[in-house]
Amino acid sequence: MSLTRDSALNIAHVLTEALPYIQRFTGKTIVVKFGGNAMVDPALQESFARDVVLMKLVGMNPIVVHGGGPQIGALLDKLNIDTEFVDGMRVTDSQTMDIVEMVLGGSVNKDIVSCINRNGGKAIGVTGKDGQLIRARKLTVSRYSPELGSSEIIDIGHVGEVDQIDTEVLTVIQDSNFIPVIAPIGVDDSGATYNINADLVAGKIAQVMKAQKLMLLTNVAGLLDQDGQIVTGLSTVQVDQLIADGTISGGMLPKISCALDTVKGGVASAHIIDGRVPHAVLLEIFTDQGVGTLITNQGL
């Protein structure tokens, strides 16, 4: 089928707009946290995979970190294993941790790897346990107890936080021209396994790999103001102010806090983008408008 003149001109316009961004980010590392609807919608999976493949082909170094909460929940339900949440975090006993590791490090990770490879890329899936990529420590959670009149420590099991990232594993994968796909499972000094929030893992990896960008895919359009409009182009100072005045609250607060910590840690920018939009990653990287909320370290 031949292109019309208008279609050809539109393609030329898109490529011309993308060119300066390609030039700016060639050779740069970009960490993408893949989650939300984009992970469970087959069409969005394919568009995400093509985005990542194109990033690699034009000289960028994408690193993918993925979640898998819905898939974990579905298998736990199928096995009739009850789940409790504390402050939004899944209480993870040894049995649940086995399921988490099987889902994140097995089916979900391999599905993403296969999807990228099917679209012409070369991806390798790893968990944080491989080569001790992610050293973890147990996450402690405290909650105020009216009965005690003070805070008490709540044990949520095998839920961890990042202690250290070994960049050697990722450097070897990148230098071999492969795309790393990382499941957010860590291990501590004693060999115990921990489930870690994928946003936090992505943020830490972006910092230690000296990434140019961190991109967090979500199920919302981005940070919204009180009128429901997307807020973008924020400095770290502005984000701190929005947290202080309550504009940023609720479920968006942990994601914004992760992005804020990442740019304060040296990453040039963090993007919270709408993963429900096809090719959201490319639109954010290669166009002037973008599709989400941008936070930069210009306020530092």
Q: What is the mean pLDDT of the chain?
A: 88
Residue 9 pLDDT level (bands cut at 50, 70, 90)? confident
- Residue 50, domain member (yes or no): no
What total of structural domains would you count in the chain?
1
In a domain, 272, yes or no: yes
Residue 118 lies in a domain: no
The reply to whether 152 falls in a domain is no
Q: Which domain holds residue 253?
A: 212-300
| Per-residue pLDDT tens digits for 143-153 | 655 665 656 67
The pLDDT, as a whole number, for residue 143 is 66
228 phi-psi bin (left φ>0, alpha ψ -120 to 50, beta other):
left
Look at residue 242 and tell me whether its pLDDT is greater than 70. Answer: yes
Residue recorded with tokens 């008490």: 152
pLDDT > 90? residue 165? yes
Residue 263 included in any domain: yes
Q: pLDDT tens digit string along 65-95?
A: 999 988 998 999 999 998 888 777 888 899 9
| H runs (alpha helix) in the chain | 5-25, 37-40, 42-57, 69-78, 94-102, 109-118, 167-175, 198-208, 236-244, 252-264, 280-286
For residue 248, being part of any structural domain is answered with: yes
Mean local confidence (pLDDT), 44-50: 94
Q: Could you tell me if residue 111 is inside a domain?
A: no
Task: Look at residue 296 and tell me if it is in a domain.
Answer: yes
Mean pLDDT to the nearest integer, 107-111: 95
**Burial of 50 from C-beta contacts in 10 A (0-12 / 13-18 / 19+):** buried
Two tokens, residue 21:
């961004």
Helix (H) or strand (E) holding 163: strand 159-165
Amino acid at site 218: T
| Residue-wise pLDDT tens digits, 14-43 | 788 888 888 999 999 999 999 877 788 899
What's at 290, amino acid-wise? G
